[in-house]
Amino acid sequence: MSGVAARPADADLFATARAEAAGRDAADPLARFRDAFVLQAGTINLDGNSLGSMPRAVVARMERVLGSEWSKGLIRSWGGAGWFALPETVGDRIAPLIGAGAGEVVVGDSTSVNLFKCIAAALALRPERRVLLLQEDNFPTDNYIAQGIADMVPGVSLRAVKSTDAFAGAIDDSVAAIVLSHVHYRTALVEDMAAINRAARAAGALSVWDLSHTTGAVPVDVAGAGCDFAIGCTYKYLNGGPGAPAYCWVSPELIERTRQPLSGWMGHKTPFDFSFDYEPATAIRRFVCGTPQILSLAALDAALELWAEVDLPQLHQKSRDSTEFFIDLVERSCAAFGVTVQSPRDGSRRGSHVAFGYENGLQVMRALAAQGIIGDFRTPDTMRFGVAPLYIGYGDIVRAVAALHDILLTRSWDRAEFRGTTVVT
């Protein structure tokens, strides 16, 4: 839409919103964590659902790893600096954030690789079943990995469900495993994990959950909800850095009879015996594959240190409150321009990002980025804004929405520099 004139009410709306935001920020028990991050003046990272901001602790940790552990300790640091145990050490920092116990989470490889491990392992545990049940609009890598496995394993087929509302009802006795995201990457819809797991168990199927848009923002209890496998990335709300290694969890009920397919030597029970035959390590260590990525793991380990001080109920509440504040302000100020809400209104079913539909959304997001307001875009028309509760305040939200309103009002998104294609959106 165009030709919408500015109204005095718009100025009043944002003045009121700024006053409310100031009060909320002053009372925010999580506000102290902002100082733990490197935040650029004039820039608001509302893309923490894709790449979180850098914690200050990472810089000192990397200086230590590079300036001492690697350069001076050399190979001795595998034992002396704890490198060998980092996949489990870092996993133990993540475990409380997903409802897992100590010794149940391991970190290494990418999200896609860990997903491959878990889907293949689930298939091996249900050899009489050959169907993988997918959600059609799940994050593409999840479905691509399942497709790759189906191409490799004779007899395995895929079944895709269009609506997640119909997902539980599609689980029958032919399904070996379901593969689903807890929080939808586009809309931020939170699935009813416990209900879907109950349906899977009743049908004898196993569950593989992607928690990439969950961990560090949304309540999740993999043990209490009856999950079988879970994986997730660490560069979003956990702020592990670009390409940070992913994590993997397997239910304690299954782990000792689960054998993952990538039987690399670091997942061996006694890797330095250098024996010919593979024997999996005990517990979750068997899901390690090759040599741990020490530089990335060390950065992630440092990024996760602050989570020991975070009150998770406070974090989850702020996620709900701030995304609701965001949606309400966009609706009141931008609906007249044709912006629509694509995220759930119910806070208990909404993740920590908000999604809005707009026909020229990509150009709008570029115009916002030019003002230091960083979000992202998903085709065909979704503008996404991630609200990382540890470093995003309510004042940041007001500034972002006011800029969005101004861009739509003036149609500045239609300038030449905001057109064209780009590799990453």
DSSP symbol at 419: -
Catalytic residue among 235, 237, 287, 325: 235
Catalytic residue among 286, 318, 384, 399: 384
Q: Based on the number of CB atoms within 10 Å of its own CB, is 104 exposed (0-12), middle (13-18) or buried (19 or more)? A: buried
Q: What pairing do the DSSP bridges indicate for beta strands 206-210 and 175-181?
A: parallel
User: 384 an active-site residue?
Assistant: yes
User: 33 an active-site residue?
Assistant: no
CA distances from 339 to 57, 61, 68, 236 (A): 39, 43, 53, 26
DSSP symbol at 407: H
Tokens matching residue 227: 């999950």
3-state DSSP call for residue 135? Answer: strand
Catalytic residue among 117, 129, 236, 318: 236
**CB contact at 8 A, 145 and 285:** no
User: 236 an active-site residue?
Assistant: yes
DSSP symbol at 72: T
**What's the gap between Cα 42 and its chain centre?**
25
Catalytic residue among 139, 287, 326, 356: 139
3-state DSSP call for residue 394? Answer: helix
Q: What pairing do the DSSP bridges indicate for beta strands 382-386 and 376-378?
A: antiparallel
User: 139 an active-site residue?
Assistant: yes
Catalytic residue among 210, 228, 376, 396: 210
Active site residues: 139, 210, 235-236, 384
